Amino acid sequence: MENAIFEAALDQLTSGGYARLTMEGVAAAARTGKAALYRRWASKVELVIGALDSTLPRPHGVPDLGSARAELLQLIGLFTDAIGSSAGAAMHALMAELSQQQAEVFKDFIVQRVIEPIKDTILDILRRGVERGDVRPGAVSPLVADVVPSMLMFQVKIRDRELAPDFAVRLVDDVLVPLIRQP
């Protein structure tokens, strides 16, 4: 039942925007009662965060694939796929619609749930790369780890367009590998 509720919330968010999303509409689309929603989520903010949290990928645990390049491609591919998903479309609709003040609670969620875990995972990948010898030690830095989430947000939020199918490969090969590789 929770999946149906989350799917209904993301669908309403994507099709009608945050202002038009209602607990009543979500309940009707999910074929449940409004009271059932309020027992679990006190507000539509909590419901939307729950829906996004349940559907966005978790970047932790990128396995050792033998090269930083392969691991970065896997991680970035996970998030480029998510950007093209219903959760990605819902996040885009949400962030495009809300004022700065309204978006603050969602921004905190995105930073804690998406951006910081991506950065932590990138730093883990880079540390493994240093141990293998395919990453220079100076590349293991928060600034280098900022490149991936920054580029993803820039492409989606500022350029306001879908990611090209080869975006992950171009980001890794044209930006990250030259930035992190051993001289």
Contact 47, 26 (CB under 8 A): yes
User: How far are the Cα atoms of 34, 51, 89, 122, 147 from residue 63, in angstroms, in the given order?
Assistant: 42, 27, 28, 12, 21
Hey, what are 94's tokens?
């949400």
Backbone φ, ψ for residue 90 (5° rounding): -65, -45
Cα 175 to chain centroid distance, Å, stands at 20
CA distance 76 to 62: 11
Contact 47, 23 (CB under 8 A): yes
Report residue 73's pLDDT band, with 50, 70 and 90 as the boundaries.
very high
Tell me, what DSSP letter sits at residue 17? -
CA distance 23 to 42: 10
Total count of residues recorded for the chain: 183
How confident is the model at residue 89, as a pLDDT? 84
pLDDT at residue 177 is higher than 90: yes
Percent of the chain at pLDDT exceeding 70: 96
pLDDT at residue 86 is higher than 90: no
User: Which residue type is seen at 103?
Assistant: A
How confident is the model at residue 81, as a pLDDT? 87
pLDDT at residue 61 is higher than 90: no
Neighbours of 71 (CB within 10 A): 22
CA distance 150 to 169: 16
User: Which residue type is seen at 180?
Assistant: I
How confident is the model at residue 1, as a pLDDT? 86
Q: Mean of the pLDDT values across residues 87-116?
A: 80
Percent of the chain at pLDDT exceeding 90: 62
pLDDT at residue 99 is higher than 80: no
Report residue 161's pLDDT band, with 50, 70 and 90 as the boundaries.
low
Hey, what are 9's tokens?
């919330």
Give the domains, in start order, of the chain with CATH numbers: 2-52 (1.10.10.60), 58-180 (1.10.357)
pLDDT at residue 100 is higher than 80: no
pLDDT at residue 98 is higher than 70: no
How confident is the model at residue 134, as a pLDDT? 94
- Return mean pLDDT, the chain: 90
How confident is the model at residue 57, as a pLDDT? 85
